[in-house]
Structure 1
């Protein structure tokens, strides 16, 4: 802010000096406006072309006064511009160092590779959910201009060193959201090599690439074009249902929500029938499905037994979900 103010002051001082010099030379040398302006500018900037010079005593005397003033203003302006440039680079350097320290202290965070149309939406949703995110992006101009507190690493996400700098060894998940399928395949392969336990969600533009991404290590593959087309069709066919689902998933102020809650080994729900647990009666939540290993049990019956390690997908009010999560732990 100080540097910007100094530059503004120097510009105003320069205009004032040029205006005063033009008037002074017009009077003392009886010069036309443009000739007086030309003589003022070359005098203040100490260019000295020699084509127009003061001829009268008063003109020379006026030049003696305006030259040191002009040199002082030009020197001040040069210093102000240089200071502003240096402060800009310095602030960027300080900001990046602070980000590096924050990234080094993170664990169980999500790395998002690519900050394009898809990547930015992924980051926004994760941040809304309170998830810690680190972006890996080659072109960081937009990230630097944004006021959002988004942590990022500048570099190529396909390189081991860049992923290590983003904390890949401590991360819980990675989203490969680059527009090129080949890059996402390489990122998935590299990420799994650096952290075998990391969960990877990869973007695919072509259907034939989806299986390659899975073989490379992606746990989930998302085709944005396919999902968008299906979503548009379902919005036409079932608009009310789609709007309601949107409200649940995207409106964070909504009273109801859908959550994934894991049943801990010491939970009182372990080895009990859903009927006996009375989850709906006691906690007010509805069990939509149960993930057990790689299998999904949709709309489980009341005779289904809960096991330690089951991931229960439940729907209800947020306070009800919180109470159920406490008993599940």
Structure 2
């Protein structure tokens, strides 16, 4: 909790404790009471309850009560106002923030929608933030969402299976949707709804059961990811091929993630078209490695230097982030 934002509440709490301690000590000495009875008399006096079971009986106690009553009323009034202000301002702040975010989301285009911010959704958002991809997160629990989000990441609190919520997330203008809801049934429903609202949308769906994967594909999912299956394979490879696994993890996941894999599509105006890999000297000039070339339905892994690049080829390349950016820029240059 921000101290400066809620300093009036903190000050009120401190003042209440101070006047309670002051009153307890005062009545303890002036009325010759026990600590608890003095505390009880102080509370009912400051809060102006006045049960009648305990009242000052000595002149010194009555004089002390004349001092503490107006002091207590003032502090209690201040504390009540501070709490009310904090509550009202908090709700107003949330309301205005949601309205402002809704206006920003309404202007987004080609963004990615993440449905569900659980363990898987958290990892998805982390990768999207790493690539600075405009993103809208949809989740039922606002408190589960991270704080201090980048300016290109927004969120909507609501049910991702609700058509209106998906519309508010800009489903018609989005380029992709990742549904990571905890149940396969919800992921199937979101996939069907999303594809019905945007047929060009690329949907990546989470599946917990293998038999659900076919259903998600039929529902329109472009890719289906089974975290349990991937995790199992990773564990097996970690036993059988630990050095290879450690190397890949070090390259793609460790530290500042200086290395990565990129897909580069060669458009009609690309200067790389009709040239061979050897002619372009890609490895020497850019320091990247061509892992594969995807051409229509065929994939050419580890292509030879004599391989000629054609229009609409998708090159899968590996290298440092700076090298990947330089290669992509030159490959798409006019």
Query: 2:270 and 2:30 mapped to 1: Cα distance?
Result: 97
| Other-structure match for 1:152 | 155
- Which digits, 9 at most, give the CA deviation of each residue in 1:208-237, with x for residues without a partner? 010100000000001111110001101111
| Other-structure match for 1:175 | 178
Query: 2:27 and 2:243 mapped to 1: Cα distance?
Result: 78
| Other-structure match for 2:262 | 259
Q: Pick one of 81, 84, 106 that aligns with 1:82.
A: 84
Alignment check: 8 A CA contact 1:3 1:80 kept:
no
Alignment check: 8 A CA contact 2:30 2:60 kept:
yes
* 1:207 to 1:54, Cα distance in 2 relative to 1, 3 A: same
| Other-structure match for 2:21 | 19
Q: Does 1:199 find its partner at 2:166? A: no
Report deviation, 1:70.
1.4
| Other-structure match for 1:226 | 229
| Other-structure match for 1:133 | 135
- Which digits, 9 at most, give the CA deviation of each residue in 1:2-55, with x for residues without a partner? 563222222332233233333333344333333332222211111111112223
- Which digits, 9 at most, give the CA deviation of each residue in 1:154-181, with x for residues without a partner? 1111111111111111111110111101
| Other-structure match for 2:114 | 112
* 1:40 to 1:257, Cα distance in 2 relative to 1, 3 A: closer
Query: 2:257 and 2:102 mapped to 1: Cα distance?
Result: 35
Query: 1:265 and 1:252 mapped to 2: Cα distance?
Result: 37
TM (normalized to structure 2)?
0.90
Name stretches of at least 5 consecutive residues in structure 2 with no aligned partner: none
Give the 3-state SS of the residue equivalent to 1:196 in structure 2. Answer: coil
Query: 1:180 and 1:268 mapped to 2: Cα distance?
Result: 47
- Which digits, 9 at most, give the CA deviation of each residue in 1:239-259, with x for residues without a partner? 121122223322473554322
Query: 2:157 and 2:126 mapped to 1: Cα distance?
Result: 19
Query: 2:255 and 2:104 mapped to 1: Cα distance?
Result: 26
TM (normalized to structure 1)?
0.91
Report deviation, 1:59.
3.0
| Other-structure match for 2:124 | 122
* 1:310 to 1:61, Cα distance in 2 relative to 1, 3 A: same
* 1:26 to 1:104, Cα distance in 2 relative to 1, 3 A: same
Paired residues, number = 328
| Other-structure match for 2:243 | 240
Name stretches of at least 5 consecutive residues in structure 1 with no aligned partner: none
